[in-house]
Amino acid sequence: MKGKFYGIGVGPGDPELLTLKALRVLKEADMVCVPKSAADRESLALSVISQALNRRFTTLELSFPMSRDRRVLEEHWARAGETVARQVREGKVLAFVTIGDPLFYSTYGYVLRYLQEHHPDLPAETIPGVTAMNACAALLQEPLAEGEESLVVIPAAYGLDRLRDALDHFDNVVLMKVNRCWNQVLELLRERGLSTEATLVSRCGYPDQAVERQVDRLAGQELDYMSILIIRQGKVKGETP
């Protein structure tokens, strides 16, 4: 196989949610790209594929800092992109593995864009994966949206004003990275009488996954990084037949 760069979504954590295409490419890949930041203890994506495949992976760590400085971020995206390009041009098949889907809040998207701009001839392919919010809906056995309901997905880290606006304009809300400001979010839910319409799912797809439908019980607690809050106002508004 000639050199190629793949972005592979490995799903939310359950190795059985890997797609057949993802498994095939991972079996053939020469190297697995693992995004790392200073806060990372281990690669969750690497853990998932290691459980699914009986093989040892040669890994290539790509450094991405936890920063909001655009210049710093772009420098690291460029460095990662050049590292990938060099390996692919040497004939290597690289698989950039990411939890969930590679084009949904993933660092892979920045590296891919860099390659498209600076190495447009480089062979690249993206293999979609099951997102955490879809896995949460399946675990709860409840639709994220149905009928005429609208849906919005936002990171909680962007502030409560954005959440207020989302609740004003959309029926249902999926709140990502809710651990960063959980108690403020819970306070807002209480103000709006929505704490009984919200469900928190932590570590979906992992052996220790947890569901809390009475979110008031979690007041004052620290949540796991992999926590998602689903708020369904549609049924309250009576817009769903």
* Torsion angle, alpha carbons of 206, 198, 185, 146, to 10: 90
Task: Please give the chain's pLDDT, 241 residues, in tens.
Answer: 489 999 999 999 999 999 999 999 999 999 999 887 755 556 889 999 999 998 889 999 998 887 778 898 899 999 999 999 999 999 999 999 999 999 999 999 999 999 999 999 999 999 999 999 999 999 999 999 999 999 999 998 778 999 999 999 999 999 998 998 999 999 999 999 999 999 999 999 999 999 999 999 999 999 998 999 999 997 665 544 4
Sequence spans of domains, the chain? 4-130, 133-237
What is the residue whose two structure tokens read 């439908």?
A: 213
CB 213, CB 21: distance < 8 Å: no
Which residues sit opposite 5 in a β-bridge?
Answer: 94, 124
Q: Do domains 4-130 and 133-237 have the same CATH topology?
A: no
Please give the model's pTM, rounded to 2 decimal places. Answer: 0.88
The correct answer on CATH 3.30.950.10 for the domain covering 133-237 is yes
CB 3, CB 87: distance < 8 Å: yes
Number of C-beta neighbours around residue 234 at 10 A? 21
The angle at the Cα of 121, spanning 46 to 76, to the nearest 5 degrees, equals 50
Superfamily, domain 4-130: Tetrapyrrole methylase, N-terminal domain (3.40.1010.10)
Compute the distance between CA of residue 7 and CA of residue 75 in angstroms, rounded to an integer: 20
In terms of phi and psi (left: phi > 0; alpha: psi -120 to 50; beta: otherwise), the region of 174 is beta
Provide DSSP, 35-80.
Answer: EE-TT-SS-HHHHHHHHHSSSPPPEEEEE--S---HHHHHHHHHHH
* Torsion angle, alpha carbons of 35, 158, 68, 118, to 10: 60
